[in-house]
């Protein structure tokens, strides 16, 4: 990438970070403010990708998602461990031959409800 390309990227990032209230003094340490801003930026990226089918941001979205996950692990380890246990249990239950099956729509609706409830909780 050329110097002008890096400069354009830095300028765009500065504008987006300011709009999302990403901490100006961020040095890599997880904080609730950085996590909230990261989630906001990811949402904007997802909306852009869906609206335009422009996949150029997909790699950056993936990296931001990984960074956000690491922040969650550092900030809320007990909650992360609980979710890990719940996923493991759900996988065990799904492998049960007597398990109840759900449609894709039912699963998406249930997950959206859980996401909505989690977003209502303060970080």
List the chain pLDDT tens, one digit each, 123 residues.
777 889 998 999 999 999 999 999 999 899 999 999 999 999 999 999 999 998 989 999 999 999 999 999 999 999 999 999 999 998 888 888 887 788 999 999 999 999 888 887 765
User: What is the reported pLDDT for 123?
Assistant: 58
Strand residue runs (E) in 1-123: none
Please give the structure tokens belonging to residue 62. 């993936």
User: What is the reported pLDDT for 63?
Assistant: 94
User: What is the reported pLDDT for 22?
Assistant: 95
The candidate with the shortest Cα–Cα distance to 43, out of 122, 115, 121, is 115
> Residue 76 and residue 1: Cα distance in Å, rounded?
37
């Amino acid at each position: 990438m050329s110097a002008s390309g890096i400069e354009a990227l830095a300028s765009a990032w500065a504008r987006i970070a300011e709009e999302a209230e990403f901490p100006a003094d961020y040095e890599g340490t997880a904080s609730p403010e950085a996590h909230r801003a990261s989630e906001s930026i990811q949402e904007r990226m997802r909306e852009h990708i869906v609206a335009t089918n422009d996949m150029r941001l997909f790699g950056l979205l993936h990296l931001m998602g990984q960074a956000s996950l690491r922040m969650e692990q550092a900030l809320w380890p007990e909650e992360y461990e609980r979710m890990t246990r719940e996923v493991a249990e759900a996988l065990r239950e799904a492998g049960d031959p007597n398990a109840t099956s759900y449609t894709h729509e039912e699963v998406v609706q249930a997950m959206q409800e859980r996401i909505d409830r989690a977003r209502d909780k303060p970080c």
